[in-house]
Amino acid sequence: MISGSIASRYAKGLFEFCQEKNELDSIYPIIHHLLEILLKESKLLEVLEDITLSPDEKIGLIERVSGNTLPKTLKQFIGLIIKKNRANILFNVFLIFRRIYLNNKNILDVELLVAEVLSPSALERIKAKVAKTLNSECEIDVKVKPELMAGYTLIVNGKVFDSSIKGQLGSVKKILLEKKFENR
């Protein structure tokens, strides 16, 4: 809990600083990209907590894995967290920053779970349809979940809309079990 409130304070501070410097829209995509990397490479946070590496080596590592030269503001911010020996909260800071950014811009956070990889054109059609249906700009993160079998599951700001075969089979199973117990 304490680390959550610390991460929240850091995220709010970064957001406000970027807002003052008019850098929100340039920093956000980099933070979003870093979040994706940290999700895929869970060992990266462990390496960042390694006391044998200097803060400059850790910042250099983040720059290399991100594939970008970090903007000065973000580089200094990450350096501050690392120098304070708080690399363990970096992921949460970025998550909270993302949430603050999306709320500030009135962008819905949408997660689309699909059974197989979508073509770029299909993904664009889905994004347009979701944005139109929800009457709001959306940021859609797509995750491939083969266990869905077919169809999709859409999660919008925590609300789940399940149109997958797995979800439908689960609903049928639940109904059948309820009927079985009613008939006893």
Structure tokens at 100: 């603050």
The length of the chain is 184
Q: Report d(CA 91, CA 146) in Å as an integer.
A: 27
The whole-number pLDDT of residue 1 equals 45
Helix (H, G, I), strand (E, B) or coil at 184: coil
Residue 117's pLDDT is 84
Q: What is the reported pTM?
A: 0.74
Give per-10-residue mean pLDDT for the chain (184 aa): 76 92 90 86 80 84 80 87 86 91 86 82 82 81 78 75 62 66 63
DSSP 48-102: HT-TTS-HHHHHHHHHHHHTSPPPHHHHHHHHHHHHTT-GGGHHHHHHHHHHHHH
